[in-house]
């Protein structure tokens, strides 16, 4: 199976998180961008301050790789205004995909109107500018019932407020890869969680992010029905290697 067009090659570490200087981390980001171009991956997913650099490199090489960035990352507890402000900056810098972290703690606390408002307003902004919008629900922070409920909430807001031809442009995404779990439990996409998402997101597509580290796992996710896979191991996956990367 040719899986490159499913892969969102991802590097989201800040210098301190990577144990690198700012200059060293910049070189790592450049390497990931160039790798995505060379390997013809679907997308390069990077921090917002690197979006303009990625667009510059991609345009210079006449590549078709698209650029994604994360919004209100990784906690997702910013206000709707904060989310919209970050998204507008990313749009100005040339981002093609906007991956918003939903306020999953507000959802767990029963603040459903707040969560619905952010889904509505941020999705509206993204679609108005012809962007792909993804909603990260952070499955490791949720139980199975909450995964079902939050996935359905996003779907219901989109279906109620946007035309059918927009549905393919709004994803439900599993994870940030930065959530701290107890007892070394997985903090990314798992097959049980992704199945629940797929069962409750239709007609919206699903992105499995984090935890997919081999070609076989990627193929299994695609066969389940996911349309995108977020991974820092994209090169290893297409090369048939096993990666030790955490995301």
Active site members: 99, 173, 207
Other beta carbons within 10 Å of 19: 9
The closest of 64, 125, 119 to 92, measured between CA atoms, is 125
Do 70 and 103 meet the contact criterion of CB atoms below 8 Å apart?
no
* CA-based torsion, 51, 56, 57, 59: positive or negative: positive
List Cβ neighbours of 239 (8 Å cut-off, separation of 6 or more): none
Q: Is 211 within 8 Å of 186 (Cβ atoms)?
A: yes
- Note whether 76 and 100 are within 8 A (CB): yes
Residue 137 and residue 157: Cα distance in Å, rounded?
Answer: 15
Question: How far apart are alpha carbons 15 and 234 in whole angstroms?
Answer: 21
Buried b (16+ CB within 10 A) or exposed e, 85-108: ebbeebbebbbbbbbbbbbbebbe
């Amino acid at each position: 199976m040719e899986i490159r067009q499913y892969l969102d090659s991802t590097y989201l570490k800040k210098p301190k998180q990577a144990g690198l200087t700012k200059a060293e981390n910049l070189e790592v980001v450049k390497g990931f961008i160039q790798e995505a171009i060379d390997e013809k991956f679907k997308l390069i997913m990077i921090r917002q301050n690197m979006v303009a650099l990625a667009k510059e490199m991609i345009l210079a090489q006449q590549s078709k790789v698209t650029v994604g960035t994360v919004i209100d990352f990784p906690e997702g507890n910013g206000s709707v205004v904060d989310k919209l402000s970050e998204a507008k900056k990313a749009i100005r810098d040339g981002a093609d995909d906007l991956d918003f972290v939903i306020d999953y703690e507000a959802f767990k606390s029963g603040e459903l109107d707040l969560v619905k408002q952010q889904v509505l307003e941020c999705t509206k902004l993204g679609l108005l500018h012809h962007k792909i919008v993804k909603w990260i629900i952070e499955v490791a922070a949720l139980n199975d019932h909450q995964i079902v409920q939050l996935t359905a909430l996003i779907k219901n807001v989109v279906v109620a407020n946007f035309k059918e031809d927009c549905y393919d442009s709004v994803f439900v995404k599993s994870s940030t890869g930065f959530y701290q779990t107890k007892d070394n439990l997985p903090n990314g996409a798992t097959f049980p969680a992704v199945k629940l998402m797929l069962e409750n997101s239709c007609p919206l597509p699903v992105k499995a992010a984090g935890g997919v580290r081999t070609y076989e796992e990627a193929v299994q996710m695609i066969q389940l029905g996911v349309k995108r896979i977020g991974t820092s191991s994209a090169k290893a996956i297409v090369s048939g290697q096993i990666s030790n990367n955490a995301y």
